[in-house]
Amino acid sequence: MSRLQRHVGLSLYRVLSRPLYPAPDSWAAGTIRFAPLGEGELLPWCDDPELELSARTVRSALARGDLCIGALEDGRLLGYAWFAFGATPESAGAWVEFDPRARYTYKHFVRSACRGRRILAGLLLAADGLCAERGRKRCVTLIYTHNQASIRASERTGARATGYVATLRLFGRLLCWRSPGARREGVRLFKPQSNLRRLSFAMRRLASMLAATTSRN
């Protein structure tokens, strides 16, 4: 699947979902503390190339109202996870939308030297209380079927596969197929610019019709 994605433009995602769990008063695992991070706390870490963070994406995500949970140990950021509450960028110009009663989990990352410590599962669970405060009932995520490490981390939190999504990029267009389970989760991938082009075409057509009507009168 990784080669098909890279060379053909075909991607296959597994949709995983679970209910949000009651949140404890604070989240910690040994010496690791899990906490929400704002712009002032995230931007300094954008200078660390290992973390795959850029100031532009951080500012854009926070401006959309997304939430970032970080895993901190002795003041060092070991990893993070992002959570969205509305349509959000996925990859290569595509966006994903989902059931408005759910939160969407995306962009999980843990430093390579810290993997194997169950940090990702802690990041995913630590956001439940804050997301429930926003009226969300479930968490939904899309993970490439060949990304077994992320799938296992999500399953450790109780998430289970509820469907599949396949996309094919063909001549600049995004074709999307959804299984019945993915449809029930409200998951859909789309390209906003394609929608804008259709709207632009419709507006031009309407303007042409109005101009023709005016000339006849």
Secondary structure, 3-state, 120-149: HHHHHHHCHHHHHHCCCCEEEEEEECCCHH
Pairing state of beta strands 138-144 and 102-110?
A: parallel
Q: Hey, what amino acid is at 140?
A: V
Per-residue tens of pLDDT for the chain, all 217 residues? 555 555 456 889 999 999 998 766 556 667 899 999 999 999 999 999 999 999 999 999 999 999 999 999 999 999 999 999 999 998 777 899 999 999 999 998 999 999 888 899 889 999 999 999 999 999 999 999 999 988 998 998 999 999 999 988 877 788 889 999 999 999 999 888 644 444 444 444 455 455 444 444 4
The CA radius of gyration of the chain, in Å to the nearest whole number, is 20
Cβ atoms of 175 and 10 within 8 Å: the answer is: no
Q: Domain coordinates of the chain in residue numbers? A: 2-191
Q: Confirm if 108 and 123 have CB atoms less than 8 A apart.
A: yes
DSSP string, 169-193: EETTEEEEEE-HHHHHTT-EEE-HH
- One of 3.40.50.720, 3.30.70.260, 3.40.630.30, 2.60.40.10 is the CATH number of 2-191, namely 3.40.630.30
